[in-house]
Structure formats: C-alpha cells, structure tokens
Amino acid sequence: MAAVCHPRRALVEIPAPQPKIAAKLRRSYFEILSSRLASSPAVPRGPRTSNTPRRPHNFDSSSGSPWRGETDEPCEPIDEQQRTALSNQQLAQLIRSLGLVEQSQEPRLLTFDLKYLQDSLQLQKANVFRSIPYSRFGSNRDAHCYRKAHPHLLAFKVSCHEWGQVLLRGAQWASALEYALMAWRYAGELPRWDTPGHNALRDQCFASLAAVCLAALRHHGDVAKGPAQGHQLLRRLRMAAHHSQAIMPCIQELERILEPSGDPAMERQ
C-alpha cells in the first residue's frame, strides 16, 4: 500500500514584503559645514570698509523718554575753547565755594559723629548687663559673673580710650570735651563688683576720659570763657565727681581758666 502524503498547512500566512522607506542618513558635522560653505559666497574678514551707515537703535519715542528725537545726527565736535583750563578768577571762586560747603557741613558731621559714639557706648553698656547671669542664688556681682562680662567691659574701655584719642588728634576740642562728659556718665552706670580688683577697668575708663577732658580744656579753654557756659560746664564736672575723683584735675583747670573773669556767680559755686 503506497503511503499517502498530505501537504502541511501553514498556521499563519506570511504577508507579502512591504517596500522599504527611504530614511535620511545622519551626516557628519564636516559634511554639513562643507555644504554650507559651498552654497554661500565667502565673506572676507576684517574691519568694515563700507560707507553704509549702521542703522541706529530704534528707541521707543512714544514714551516721554530723553531718547526722543533724531538719532542719526552725528555728535558735534568739542570746541577747542572748552578744553582750556579755568581762569584765575574761576579757580578762586571754585575754591571759595568748596570752603563754604565744607564749613556748612562741618557742624553736622560733628553732631553725627557724637550721636554715633553715643549709640556705640550705649550698646556696649547694654552688652555688659546682658552677659551677667541673673538666674543665680548667689550674688550677680561675684567673680563668676565678672568673668562673663569681662570681654564686654574690655571693649567698653577700649572704645572710651580710642575715640577720645581720635577726637584729640583731629583737634576737635569742643567735641572731645562733650564726648568725655557723655562717656563719663555711661562709665558711671557700669556695675560695681564685689571684688575691688575687678573694678580696675571701670577706673581705667575714668582715668582715660579725664585725660581727654583735661587736654580739651587746655587747648580750647575759650569754650568756657562765657559766664553762662563756664557755669554750666563747671556744674557738669562737679556732678561727674560723684562717680570718680579722677575728674578733679579738670575742675581745677576750669576754675583756673575762669579765675581772671571775676564772675561772682562762679565764686559762689
């Protein structure tokens, strides 16, 4: 019996192949650059030699700006007479006007400096009291609290000495005298410690301020020549003596300055 061959049937019919789609190949950078150079004409490099004026920037002329108007007009050349130096009369007038401006601003600058120094001393005094721990069962003026406040006390002493010397070097005698009395009041408000040796920084502040006050009186004694001014200054110095006796040389110097005036009000004081 001959074998019967049955043809095998495919389970899935394979579709006909689709035509290929032409895709763009990626070109290298050199191919793109060479194609662009070949298509465009060569532009010579170098300074612009064309006589065509450049187009000016188009500023908005609708708003009320200072750029409104024609911008294509060239700037006028500077006249040679404008480049000449000032004459002697113009130069003298300029120096005189500068001197008047400086004299008008000088009192304002001194007042501002004293206000700044006052704020600085007040801040440093507040830092001293902030550094003292008050939540303690014992005294808050003992050695432990002094060690906490010592850096701020030292900063206060340095400020008293340095700013007084700056005013003396600048020959600002009236400002130095006013600063010494102002800083004296802040130094008198510093805490007194239980140990006498811990009050040395406070005494050094008084000694430095007394030296500044004495130097200002010797170089600028005219501030106390008037009866009213001398009486007021002597009263302030005697009030400062309640904090420290280091001010006594200043009181004696002021009394010596006021002695020739023969003011009876001064003698009764």
178-196 confidence digits (pLDDT tens):
999 999 999 999 999 999 9
CA distances from 71 to 48, 55, 61 (A): 21, 10, 11
List the chain domain ranges: 110-268
CA atoms of 157 and 198, how far apart (whole Å): 13
Query: What is the distance between the alpha carbons of residues 193 and 132, in angstroms, rounded to a whole number?
Result: 11
Q: pLDDT tens digit string along 11-46?
A: 666 667 766 655 555 666 667 777 777 766 555 555
Looking at residues 197-203, what average pLDDT do you find? Answer: 94
Predicted local confidence at residue 101, as pLDDT: 59
Task: Look at residue 190 in the predicted model and tell me its pLDDT.
Answer: 94
- Span 110-163, pLDDT tens digits: 444 688 889 999 999 999 999 998 876 778 888 999 999 999 999 999 999 999
Q: Which two tokens mark 156?
A: 């206060």
Dist CA 44 CA 233 (whole Å): 86
For the chain, percent helix, then strand, then coil, each to nearest 5? 60, 0, 40
> What is the predicted pLDDT for the residue at 100?
62
Q: Which CATH number fits domain 110-268: 3.40.50.1100, 1.20.1740.10, 1.20.58.1590, 3.90.230.10?
A: 1.20.58.1590
Burial class for 238, CB neighbours closer than 10 Å (0-12, 13-18, 19+): middle
Residues in the chain: 269
- Global pTM reads 0.56
